[in-house]
């Protein structure tokens, strides 16, 4: 409902127009001046994210994508091997980093030196118990079993562009 609350600068061009969407992949050749100043490749993204406040990342865990911002909780319906509560996980398979006007995607994973994404294992609990019944047609035997899967809760500790 509300427009995004950002700085007093003029609102960015509506994102829905693909033509006018600023692209990260430049077709122009890199000038000599640019090469010597050694600007971080994600500087536009960083500045647009208002000091890493408005930044999201799409990372993959067991090849499943999760879109997160800082402080989010991730609910996994399994136990992570060798993880106990309080452990910090360094998530290094990030596919996309995004800010209000820019996104940077690398399908094979962004170079991990460009960003920092960490999660804390907050809780290892279970999902509520429920009953599952399995049976076949024209067979009276009904197999019933209880299901109570484990649930790991991760909290995104830190998400920033280096």
Partner 1 sequence: MPIKAIPKISLARNGVGAFVAPCHRITVQYCNWGGSSTGLRQVLSSGQLDHIARQKKYTFFEVVKKSGHPSLTFHYNNDTTQVVDIANLDSEKIVEKLEEYSQRSGNKLIKFNHKVMSNNDSVRGIWSPLHMPKGHRHKI
Partner 2 sequence: MLRSVIRAAPRVNVLRAAICRPQILTTVRTYQVATAKTVLKTSYDSVEDYSSYKHNLFTHRLPESSAEQSAPLVALHSRLNLPSTFALSTLSQCLNLLFKDDGLANNFGLNTLGKTMLSYYVTEYLLIHYPRLPMSVHNAAVDSLMGTSALYEIGKSWGITVDTTSKLDKFLGEENEFLKYGKLRYISDAEKEKVKETGVEELVDGVTEHSREAEAYASAVRAIIGGLYTHSGEDTAKKFIEDHILSRKIPLDQMFQFSKPSAELVRLCDKLGFDQPISIRLMAETGRASSHPQYLTGVFVGTEKLGEAIGSSLNESKTRAVINALLAYYLYSPINAQGDKIKVPSETNYKFEGIIGIGDVAI
Chain centroid to Cα 33, Å, comes to 34
Dihedral pair phi/psi, residue 53, rounded to 5°: -80, -45
Residues making up the chain, counted from first to last: 162
State which of residues 34, 53, 105, 135 lies at the interface with partner 2 (CB under 8 A).
53
3 in Cβ contact with 11 (< 8 Å): yes
- The entry of partner 2, partner 1, none near residue 67 (CB within 5 to 8 angstroms by kind) is partner 1
| Rg from Cα positions in the chain | 22
61 in Cβ contact with 92 (< 8 Å): no
Burial (CB < 10 A; 0-12, 13-18, 19+), residue 1, is exposed
Binding track, positions 33-72, relative to partner 1; x by CB under 8 A: ---------------------xxx-------x-xxxxxxx
Between 41 and 70, name the residue whose CB sits nearer to partner 1: 70
- Answer yes or no whether residue 15 interacts with partner 1 by CB under 8 A: yes
- Answer yes or no whether residue 116 interacts with partner 2 by CB under 8 A: no
State which of residues 43, 105, 125, 135 lies at the interface with partner 2 (CB under 8 A).
43
Residues of this chain that interact with partner 1 (CB under 8 A) are 1, 3-5, 14-17, 54-56, 64, 66-75, 84-86, 98-100, 120, 122-128, 151, 153, 155-157
């Amino acid at each position: 409902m509300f427009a995004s609350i950002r700085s007093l600068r003029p609102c960015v061009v509506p994102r829905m127009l693909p033509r006018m969407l600023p692209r990260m992949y430049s077709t122009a050749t890199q000038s000599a001046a640019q090469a010597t100043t050694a600007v971080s490749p994600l500087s536009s993204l960083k500045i647009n994210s208002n000091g890493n406040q408005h930044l999201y990342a799409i990372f993959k865990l067991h090849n499943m994508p999760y879109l997160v911002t800082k402080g989010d909780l991730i609910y996994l319906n399994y136990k992570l091997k060798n993880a106990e509560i309080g452990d910090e996980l360094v998530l290094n398979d990030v596919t996309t980093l995004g800010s209000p006007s820019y996104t940077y995607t690398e399908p094979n994973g962004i170079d991990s030196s460009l960003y920092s994404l960490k999660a804390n294992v907050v809780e290892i609990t279970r999902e509520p118990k429920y009953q599952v019944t399995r049976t076949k047609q024209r067979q009276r035997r009904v197999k019933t079993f209880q299901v109570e899967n484990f649930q790991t809760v991760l909290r995104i500790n830190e998400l920033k562009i280096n």
